[in-house]
Chains A and B, each alone.
Chain A
Amino acid sequence: EADIYQTPRYLVIGTGKKITLECSQTMGHDKMYWYQQDPGMELHLIHYSYGVNSTEKGDLSSESTVSRIRTEHFPLTLESARPSHTSQYLCASSLPGTHRNEQFFGPGTRLTVL
């Protein structure tokens, strides 16, 4: 079934650890995005990708990095987690063309850094 997956769904980790949040989609979409969302607040774009080997920074500055080696996979990495990184991270994808701004979202990863 075509979908967008995120793992883990919940992660509690100590300060200084390296973490990778996984995002995969089986929808055949070219564009993928990472958003950060604090509780009760709006979503902020932190990274996006137009396709393989393409990565761009979003509107909100983030210490995280991303890679896009395969079309379906768009992982986000934090080299050294800090409490300020505690948030929900949402992955999304979209098709190019007429509905290029219409995005499909994964279930999210809720990250807590102690």
Chain B
Amino acid sequence: SQQGEEDPQALSIQEGENATMNCSYKTSINNLQWYRQNSGRGLVHLILIRSNEREKHSGRLRVTLDTSKKSSSLLITASRAADTASYFCATCFRDDKIIFGKGTRLHILP
């Protein structure tokens, strides 16, 4: 399967701590995208990282991409209650297909 796989499946941390989620995939990609989904709602795009990029930042979010290891990580710094959500990586291929992983459920504890 070309599907990206997130790790861990679920993560609970205290508010203020950093949260790290990983995504691994099996075949060469053109870009990789991270999305957030709040309970049962639509997905919100967070960051797109191209295959020739190694790191991108957006506010408290930091995404890295290691194409040699076929993996990406999403770091959320100084977590807040509002960060509680499911996070998905989407691996994107030359034929423009996008494959989503099953997500990491992040729970921020007060």
Are A and B associated in one complex?
Answer: no
